[in-house]
């Protein structure tokens, strides 16, 4: 695959006209150029579950660089097996993001660093942490405010537009359309032990970078990365939306003394509940 083809594949992969998607608006978005026929063939064929990988040039074990095409195929095949889908998806969009593992409560900063790759930018978690501390957004990497995350994104990604959305379900079309245009969704949610969305009232608040979607006639699944696993995740849109909208309080497990964590005015509910960011390259 040529570098130009890889760039097209990583940034946006659309396997159906957008007007065929049941969530599209009356004004369809023209699909991006399709990959070569040989690449397209692989997306609807079963591939061995042994993806090839290559080592990152970054000498840091927290970085992991899989073969992006194989990763999407393997992830989609897991979907077919787990969900029992018989039909091909109406829409598939996917943008490769590098995987970065977090150290400490830095999930939001890690998600932002991963999302930066979509705008061809390189932003380190350490630089984001220093700036967040300087601005008074965070003590040790925690980010309990969507607005503060938006400010950091604007400061480090000058070629990216930042949109704060209120309510994932209400903005379903906006989210899917934006992903089809190559955007990344940064979203807080409650993470279960397997890192998937759950509802714990915000006690397990975590951040993820959503970089793709698979849409069928009856379901929409979002492809996401988060800082506690190298694996590309697939989550039901409505399950993630429910998790996002249940972030209402700071976890008692983190101690009665919340001085180690910076909370915005109004707490977790005001900072995170029902809110997310769309990062779109200008």
Which pLDDT score, from 0 to 100, does residue 282 have? 87
Looking up tokens 């608040």 gives 205
Determine the pLDDT at residue 89: 76
Residue 238, pLDDT score:
96
Catalytic, out of 14, 21, 107, 273: 107
Question: Which residues in the chain come in under a pLDDT of 70?
Answer: 1-69, 72, 78-85, 255-259
pLDDT (0 to 100) of residue 181: 92
Q: Give the pLDDT score at 259.
A: 62
The order of strands in the sheet holding 53-54 is: 53-54, 63-66, 99-100
Report pLDDT for 218.
81
Whether residue 145 contacts residue 260, with contact meaning beta carbons closer than 8 Å, is answered with no
Q: What's residue 88's pLDDT?
A: 72
Residue 107 annotated among the catalytic residues of the structure: yes
Q: What's residue 255's pLDDT? A: 61
**Confidence at residue 68, expressed as pLDDT on a 0 to 100 scale:** 64
């Amino acid at each position: 695959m040529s570098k130009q083809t890889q760039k097209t594949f990583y940034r946006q992969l659309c396997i159906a006209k957008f007007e065929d998607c049941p969530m599209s608006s009356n004004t369809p978005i023209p699909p991006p150029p399709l990959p070569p026929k040989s690449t397209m063939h692989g997306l609807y064929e079963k591939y061995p579950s042994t993806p090839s990988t290559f080592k990152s040039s970054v000498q840091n074990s927290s970085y992991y660089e899989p073969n992006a095409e194989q990763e999407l195929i393997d992830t989609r095949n897991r979907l077919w097996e787990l969900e029992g889908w018989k039909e091909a998806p109406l829409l598939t969009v996917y943008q490769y993001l590098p995987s970065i593992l977090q150290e400490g409560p830095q999930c939001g900063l890690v998600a932002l660093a991963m999302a930066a790759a979509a705008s061809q930018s390189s932003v380190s978690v350490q630089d984001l942490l220093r700036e967040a501390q300087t601005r008074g957004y965070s003590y040790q990497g925690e980010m309990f405010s969507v607005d503060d995350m938006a400010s950091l994104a604007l400061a480090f990604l000058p070629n990216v537009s930042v949109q704060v959305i209120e309510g994932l379900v209400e903005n379903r079309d906006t989210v899917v359309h934006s992903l089809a245009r190559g955007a990344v969704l940064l979203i807080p949610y409650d993470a279960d032990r397997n890192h998937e969305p759950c509802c714990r009232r915000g006690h397990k608040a975590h951040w993820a970078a959503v970089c793709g979607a698979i849409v069928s006639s009856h379901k929409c699944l979002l492809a996401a990365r988060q800082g506690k696993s190298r694996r590309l995740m697939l989550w039901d849109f409505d399950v993630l939306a429910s998790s996002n909208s249940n972030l209402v309080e700071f976890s008692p497990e983190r101690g009665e003394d919340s001085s180690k964590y910076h909370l915005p005015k109004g707490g977790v509910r005001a900072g995170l509940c029902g809110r997310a960011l769309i990062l779109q390259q200008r």
